[in-house]
Amino acid sequence: MLNGPQGGEISPRHFRDVLGHFPTGVAVITALDGDGAPIGMAVGSFASVSLDPPMVAFLPDRGSSTFPVIRDAGRFCVNVLAGGQEDICRIFATRGADRFGSVDWRPAPHTGSPVLDGAVAWIDCELGDVHEAGDHYIVIGKVLGLEIQTPTLPLLFFQGGYGTFAPRSLVMASRGRPSEAVRMAEAAREDLEQLAADVGLECRVIAREADGLVIVATAGHAGGADPVGAVLPFFPPFGGTIAAWGVPELRAEWYDGFPAELGSEQRAEFDADLDRIRKRGWTLTFRSDAATEAEELVEAMAEHGRTPSLQRRLFDVGTQMRGLDDPTLLNESTASQVRTITAPVLNANGPLLHLTLYGFPPNASLEFVEHARDVLVTASRALSERFGGGLD
């Protein structure tokens, strides 16, 4: 347990450290000055105050040079920043910066105060009471109008840094513009939850991103570290379904990423395996020491981050898992050894996501495994059709 001073004077540093464990939203307060020019300031202390009548509040520093101009204007607009607007926050938090030089905006309907493009929401206000509170003011705003502008994740400030959050049916939060895969996973959230509930297993959604294969969402997560955001390498055997539906260049990238040299004969064997996966529409893996270690390493990455040591170990394990498991070996005696079943989700451009069922019990029957497979394949085909793709 980390203890601070137990009595006497509380230092500003200790106060800041303790309160820094409480995340706050980030907003930009905007107005027009006496000449009609836009002004604005970033705040991390904005709150809802009253529902009836609707009122909000923000707490500017008494040393702020911008707030007196907002106070004189008698009206303002609160812009709730999105997760990808950290750069805008920094501009509006910097003294002397040209705060509107590179920011697009439009006037709010009641006060004319700037509504920033891309903000999650805006709240247009008439200035109410202003109370002195130590080295800050408490400024009450009487709400005249408000709207959600961009329904996305908000920007948060936590322990001196910026970030955002992922809701807990778990789609990966994005700093900046979300990738197409993340947007698709978010759109499929209810389907993923239903799939996980129908089979009683965890469903992880994996996508090809710049760094490799990324777990962008999960549903039915049973506990432990949240795996969303964990990165796997893109080489055999990881990401076989993505490679199976990929263009030749994508398959070549899959092979070239392997830590050891793959000869033409090995590539031909993999090509045959990938063609069979594509024809079948799904694939599976059986339990093995290497597969178990790979899963443990992914869990460790989820808990501790993508450290170089864990990443090297995962690459090493990958070299021990060269072959793709053969789904034709699934029968009454091998069903209890099934570790995962995977099927892809395609859009018009090809394989963007693959859905992987985890958590098969060690005593799973063939009937249980085949039911889970059939539900998974049905869901993947339905999602592919929704997103403009189709399995051939």
- State pLDDT tens for residues 113-151: 999 999 989 999 999 999 999 999 999 999 999 998 886
Cα–Cα distance between 208 and 5 in angstroms, integer? 49
| pLDDT exceeds 60 at position 90 | yes
How much of the chain exceeds pLDDT 90, in percent?
Answer: 46
**What tokens were used for 68?**
């007196």
Question: What are the tens digits of pLDDT across the range 220-275?
Answer: 876 666 678 777 778 888 888 888 988 889 888 888 888 778 888 888 888 999 99
- Full set of structural domains in the chain with CATH: 12-158 (2.30.110.10), 166-386 (3.30.450.40)
pLDDT band (50, 70, 90) for residue 347: confident
CA dist., res. 219 & res. 191, Å (int): 9
> How far is Cα 380 from Cα 191, in angstroms, rounded to an integer?
10
364 with 334: CB under 8 angstroms? no
| pLDDT at residue 223, as a whole number | 62
Work out whether the CA dihedral 90, 215, 377, 352 comes out positive or negative: positive
- Measured CA to CA, the distance from residue 114 to residue 108 in angstroms comes to 6
pTM above 0.75, yes or no: no
Which of the residue ranges 81-95, 215-229, 375-389 would you say has the lowest mean pLDDT? 215-229
Contact 239, 208 (CB under 8 A): yes
- Taking alpha carbons only, the member of 347, 324, 346, 336 closest to residue 277 is 324
Q: Which two tokens stand for residue 145?
A: 């109008």
pLDDT, residue 170, reads 45
